[in-house]
Amino acid sequence: MPYKTTYTPHNIKKYIGNLKNVHCKSLWERKMCIYLDENKSIIRWGYEVIKIPYLSPIDNKIHNYIPDFIIETADKEIIIVEIKPFKQTKDPSKRKRKKINECITYSINKAKWDTANIYCNSHGWKFQIITEKELF
């Protein structure tokens, strides 16, 4: 999945943020950019334009979580979206064979996602994790 590319939005009035800073970290993120840019039911969208402070369970310090996308739909719904491989959305500690680095990554991601849910709920927004299952 690692693949870095720059995406240039075509519908520039829809894009939130710096048009030259859409540096996708995967083909999945790029696919989402194209979808958001071309979809008529998406009024505005941005890539990595919002910061949400969260408490890391690893070092017990506050860090900034930068979700992949913020989207405003024609229904005036605001959705924060994170693109992740399906495997990374499941708790590895529940598997028979677990790797410590996967457990650490998952615990950090879980802290980010829990905080993002609280943040979004407090603003009347939605938080959504999208995997390859939804993208393809």
What residues act catalytically?
A: 29, 68, 84
Three-state SS for the chain is: CEEEEECCCCCCCCEECCCCCCEEEEHHHHHHHHHHHHCCCEEEEEECCCCEEEECCCCCCEEEECCCEEEEECCCCEEEEEECCHHHHCCHHHCCCCCHHHHHHHHHHHHHHHHHHHHHHHHCCEEEEECHHHHC
d(CA 127, CA 28): 18
